[in-house]
């Protein structure tokens, strides 16, 4: 499965879906209809794409959005949510985490006055995307990946420079639009 097919499956799961659970059901069904090798390739493509946003810069942006409540699991599920936004959004944010400030959902979250005002469904995460290939695969996906000499990310392993996520000067220098949106910079 090439990247175009990967993104096609991710994006087509959103068409007419009423929730992330609905998207997962659609995506699982679409994957289950494919040959097993394609399901494995979907998992590999998801891992490859996710690694592009497994950086300290992206974690910092996610932590800022989530009001400092972005654990390693939270960041891992944030990466999956970002994939779920589709290829165009993903590419923009992969290039610049500050592009998150332009996403309507992120702007909505900022307008709500903090994470304590968010409903559970508001959080920018999509944990279920991590399990969709395993659910669609007829057999043991992890064993199949291991047989191919592949090991997928199971938690964040960010690259790049880490810094103090709460430092207003760092926020202003690294994600100024996002910092302004969430009131972390003047």
List residues bridging with 55 in a β-sheet. 159
What value does the mean pLDDT of the chain take?
95
pLDDT at residue 185, as a whole number: 82
**Contact predicate 97/59, CB 8 Å:** no
Residue 186 confidence (pLDDT) above 70: no
Interatomic CA distance for residues 35 and 142, integer angstroms: 16
pLDDT at position 55 is 98
Query: With DSSP H G I counted as helix, E B as strand and the rest as coil, what are the percentages for the chain, rounded to 5?
Result: 65, 0, 35
- pLDDT tens string 102-156: 999 999 999 998 899 999 899 999 999 999 999 999 999 999 999 999 999 899 9
121 exposed, middle or buried (CB, 10 Å; 0-12, 13-18, 19+)? exposed
Distances (CA, A) of 25 to 21, 136, 153, 172: 6, 10, 23, 40
pLDDT at 178 over 90: yes
For 164-176, what is the mean pLDDT? 93
pTM: 0.94
Q: Which two tokens stand for residue 118?
A: 């968010």
- The 10s digit of each residue's pLDDT in 139-149 is 999 999 999 99
Pull the structure tokens for residue 74. 């939270």
pLDDT reported for residue 113? 85
CB atoms within 10 A of CB 107: 12
| Conformation bin of residue 68: beta by default, left when phi > 0, alpha when psi is -120 to 50 | left
Q: Residue 82: what pLDDT? A: 98
């Amino acid at each position: 499965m090439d990247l175009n097919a990967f993104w096609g499956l991710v994006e087509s799961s959103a068409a007419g879906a009423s929730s992330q659970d609905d998207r997962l059901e659609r995506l699982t069904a679409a994957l289950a209809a494919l040959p097993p090798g394609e399901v494995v390739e979907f998992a590999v493509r998801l891992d490859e794409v996710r690694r592009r946003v497994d950086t300290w810069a992206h974690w910092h942006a996610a932590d800022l959005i989530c009001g400092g409540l972005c654990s390693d699991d939270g960041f891992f599920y944030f990466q999956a949510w970002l994939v779920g936004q589709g290829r165009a959004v993903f590419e923009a944010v992969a290039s610049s985490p500050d592009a998150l400030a332009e996403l309507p959902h992120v702007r909505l979250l900022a307008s709500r006055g903090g994470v304590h005002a968010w409903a559970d469904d508001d959080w920018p995460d999509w944990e279920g995307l991590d399990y969709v290939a395993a659910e669609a695969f007829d057999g043991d996906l992890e064993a199949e990946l291991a047989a191919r000499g592949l090991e997928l990310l199971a938690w964040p392993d960010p690259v790049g420079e880490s810094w103090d996520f709460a430092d207003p000067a760092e926020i202003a220098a690294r994600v100024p639009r996002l910092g302004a949106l969430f009131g972390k910079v003047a």
